[in-house]
Amino acid sequence: MSDQIQVEVMYALRDRQKGVLVRLPAGATVREAVERSGLLAEFPEIDLAVNKFGIWNKLAKVDAALRDHDRVEIYRPLIADPKEVRRQRAAEGKVMKKGGGDAEAA
């Protein structure tokens, strides 16, 4: 077993995404991968205390240990809470569509 691992750190904006391959010592954490990626300097809005992180699309804490070939994802905060948006639409009497078909044709 090697004493080095390689992981990809991903950050996506609305109009572009950035991925960085990083070599780390075995047992490195999400925090170490993000710090080593250089994305904190490139995207100052990323905050290790605020943003959520994932490993292969599953939420992970910043102190979670990584394995070779993991993909670390940096999630942006939600602009709107989906539950609140549904409540507002219901209060306005709007019909929600599901799956792209007619809402009334159920």
Q: Residue 53 sits in a domain of what CATH number?
A: 3.10.20.30
Q: How confident is the model over 56-69, as pLDDT tens digits?
A: 999 999 999 999 99
Confidence grade of residue 92 (pLDDT, cut at 50, 70, 90): confident
Q: Is residue 96 part of a domain?
A: no
Instruction: Tell me phi and psi for residue 74, to 5 degrees.
Output: -100, 120
Confidence grade of residue 101 (pLDDT, cut at 50, 70, 90): low
Q: How many CB atoms lie within 10 A of CB 68?
A: 12
* Overall domain count for the chain: 1
With tokens 């910043």, the residue in question is 62
Task: Report helix, strand or coil for 46.
Answer: coil
User: 71 Cβ partners below 8 Å, 6+ apart?
Assistant: 7, 8, 9, 10, 55, 56
C-alpha span between 36 and 32 (Å, rounded): 6
Q: Is residue 54 part of a domain?
A: yes
